[in-house]
A and B are shown apart, each in its own frame.
Chain A
Amino acid sequence: MRVDIKQNKIAAYIFLSLLGLVMVYPLLWLFASSFRTNQEIFTSLGLIPGELVTDAYARGWQGSGQYSYGTFFINTFLMVIPTVLGTIVSSALVGYGFARFRFPFKKLLFILMISQLMLPNAVIIIPRYILFRSLGWLNTYLPFIVPAMFATYSFFIFMMVQFIRGIPKELDESAYIDGCNSFTIFTRIMAPLLKPALFSAGIFQFIWRWNDFLNPLIYINSVKKYPLSLALRMSMDITDAISWNQLMAMSLLTMIPPILIFFFAQRYFVEGITTTGLKG
């Protein structure tokens, strides 16, 4: 019996390792390709470069023309970090409101908020663009940051609402008896309990904003303000030879921050996903 279990375990480990390898292979290939010549990238699936190219990182970092990837990294952080923090704080507050308070037109407002989830992005591109133009926000990061501060991402609000609904009301009531008001209940009782949900929202939003291509494309004109997603596409054009190894190298660097964030916050992230909507 015991031998059987052991054998099963070994088989399972071998199977899982192989599966894991299959999953990681594209990443390994990306890494290996940053050391290869263009011709080899497109004709071989292996990992070991035939002809070693070592300058892809240094040359890729220079970017094309005026600005280096240093600028693009800073731009991306300037755009993404305030957006993410703004989203977390504002969505939690609004979610708290929807989950715990009664106010006029609450149902209608909630439906309006949820219906935004169904609205295809393409429909609102032009009106939104014209709105931001009238506000004079084009070619700045304001179209990303300001809406995030006013809880315009309904998905996160909904997530917060679900999570807060899982927190027993009795906690609020006892805090109230102990002298808390609505705001201190939020900051002292809710916020610590909401941590997993806040982390999930933060990670999701970070990765989405980091990878976002269309919105920066439309709102940002100057190359000196390009975030990474635009910078990577800058030299991808069919009429010119693309230095794929440089592009692979820069793609790899671009992936590092989201991966790091994911790994460091993974514990909360999983907790946040699995417990959303459960009764506490």
Chain B
Amino acid sequence: MRKLLLLSVIVLSAGLVFAGGQGESADGSSDQVNLRFSWWGGDTRHKATLAAIEAYEAKNPNVKIEAEYGGFDSYYQKLVTQLAGGTAADVVQIDYKWVHDLAAQGEVFVDMNTLTDKIDMSGFDMKFTRAYGAHGDYLLGLPTGLNAFGLTLNSPLLKDAGIPVKESWTWQDILDYGGKVRALGEDKYLMGLQPQHFWYVIKIQLKQKTGNNFIKDDLSFGFEKQDLVEVLEYIDGAFESGAFAPLEETVLYDGKGWDQIPNWLNGSYGMISSWASVYTTVKNATTFDMTVARFPIPEDAVNPGLQTTPSQLLAVNSRSANKEEAIKFIDWFFNSEEAINILKDCRGVPPTSRARDILAAADELDTDVVTAVNLALPYSGGPENGPSLNKEIETIVKDYVQQVGYKVLTPEEAATQMMEDLEKVLSQL
């Protein structure tokens, strides 16, 4: 019994000691600046960014940068909590998809428009930057890289099937060539798409037909019902003819990277849709020759509709106590030759023309990735607006595509019900 009593005392005090020991010590001298920088990424990005931070600290001995990094999962949840609690890092990496939601919380990040004299933005494509990083006039962050949605081709399979390995595709091509790939074997399909990718197929095809975003700024549909029916009929037809791999097969791996999907790795798909930023990852996992191509554009497109976006944005916390230092760091991060050479393409194709030139000269960029971005940039469908990026809307669309894929609903029925459901969500926005 004594033991137990003793134990409880030890536990209570040990806990306090352990925990107390973890507390931050107060800042040393007044010149010493502690910055916090939070980002998500994989090992390559972590290592490159840490090396960059080290280089910056070496040049600025009075600045100490605390790195807070992790994977993408739950990053947003943590960021939102920190913003609510006023404890977000000084320099924060954010996704362009969050811009509208974050801006709705007030001016949580420093408006980059006010920093044009402190950060050299001459290398950036400011039209592109504003299109994705701004909410109205309020510019939340600067893009860390360029990214584009396109196709990755399995060259040997296409060659075997007698299909040209070309850069530009139309939606009709996909239907036409589907049969040739099917002829190679029961498990071979021309195009592998995960359920998540049908959202892109739908919104891009609709934009190509109408020139509008999926949802317009005034919260009305950017398309007529007939357009949606036609797109769903196309998808239905592509499943029917075997041009698209069946959902039963791809649904198992929804949301996973292509580098983890057996049917792509063992060469069963002729092409996949994917972001340029993950190309290298997929290439490292794949054993056959891969090449990049543009996402399909029909010949009569009103708008080419392709998706080109920033990889991420870098923002300065407006409640930071060390804004000046954070801004100086960002300027160095984007513009100094030293940083460019250390960071390379760890955040996608660099956003500034100068960085692209430096890295291209040093042969540091994966040519396929640059090609993928360059193929898409001139055909960009323009930025999406907040409602078109809404997660609830995406979920509804994905649901109905699956019902079409599984033959539960005809395209006509699915279009009617989808629009009814979408209207309910829109009335609440």
A interface residues with partner B (beta carbon < 8 Å): 38-39, 42-43, 64-66, 78, 82-83, 85-86, 89, 125-126, 129-130, 133, 136-142, 145-146, 148-149, 184, 187-188, 191, 213-214, 217-218, 221-223, 225, 230, 233-243
Contacts and interface: CB of A to CB of B under 8 A. Distances in A.
Given A65-B46, A187-B4, A239 B84 contact: no
A184 to B, nearest CB: 7
Interface in B78-113: 78, 81, 84-87, 89
B226 interface: no
Contacts of A236: 42, 71, 73
Interface of B: 1, 4-5, 7-8, 11-12, 14-16, 18-19, 22-24, 36, 38, 40-47, 50, 66-74, 77-78, 81, 84-87, 89, 257, 259-262, 265-266, 277-278, 280-281, 284-287, 311, 348
B68 A64 contact: no
B289 to A, nearest CB: 15
Contact of A222 (B19, B68, B285): B68
A213 B24 CA distance: 23
A65 B48 CA distance: 9
Contact of A141 (B19, B77, B81): B19
A-side interface mostly? helix
Contacts of A148: 15
Contact of A237 (B15, B45, B86, B87): B45
29 contacts: A38-B259, A39-B285, A43-B262, A65-B69, A78-B18, A85-B15, A89-B7, A89-B11, A126-B84, A129-B84, A139-B24, A142-B22, A145-B16, A145-B18, A146-B15, A188-B1, A217-B78, A222-B66, A225-B22, A233-B74, A235-B43, A235-B46, A236-B71, A236-B73, A237-B45, A238-B72, A239-B41, A240-B41, A241-B284
Contacts of A235: 42-43, 46, 71
B259 A243 contact: no
B261 A42 contact: yes
Contacts of A141: 18-19, 22
B50 A65 contact: yes
A82 B15 contact: yes
Contact of A239 (B4, B23, B281): B281
Contacts, number: 163
Contacts of B50: 65-66
A129 B85 contact: yes
Nearest to A214: B74
B45 A86 contact: no
B84 A240 contact: no
Nearest to B40: A237
Nearest to B84: A126
A176 to B, nearest CB: 16
Given A221-B68, A234-B46, A240-B43, 20 more contacts: A39-B287, A65-B69, A66-B67, A82-B11, A82-B14, A85-B11, A89-B12, A133-B85, A133-B87, A139-B24, A149-B11, A218-B81, A222-B68, A223-B68, A233-B70, A236-B71, A237-B41, A238-B281, A241-B280, A241-B284
Nearest to A232: B71
Contacts of A191: 1, 4
A142 B18 CA distance: 9
Contact of A241 (B11, B262, B281, B348): B281
B281 A126 contact: no
Given A139-B24, A221-B89, A223-B68, A64 B1 contact: no
Contacts of B1: 184, 187-188, 191
A20 B260 CA distance: 28
Nearest to A84: B11
A83 to B, nearest CB: 8
A235 B1 CA distance: 47
Contact of A86 (B15, B40, B280): B15
Contact of A43 (B12, B16, B265): B265
A225 B70 CA distance: 13
Nearest to A140: B22
A184 B1 CA distance: 8
A143 to B, nearest CB: 9
A242 B18 contact: no
Contact of B70 (A89, A133, A139, A234): A234
B105 to A, nearest CB: 12
Contacts of B70: 217, 230, 233-234
A193 to B, nearest CB: 12
B12 A217 contact: no
Given A142-B19, A237-B72, A125 B81 contact: yes
Contacts of B280: 241
A126 B284 CA distance: 41
Nearest to A88: B11
Which of B11, B285, B287 has the most A CB atoms < 10 Å from its CB? Answer: B11
Given A145-B18, A187-B1, A89 B71 contact: no
B126 to A, nearest CB: 25
Nearest to A238: B257
Given A43-B265, A140-B22, A217 B85 contact: no
A146 B17 CA distance: 11
Contact of A140 (B19, B86, B286): B19
B5 A217 contact: no
Nearest to B257: A238
A67 to B, nearest CB: 11
Contacts of B24: 139
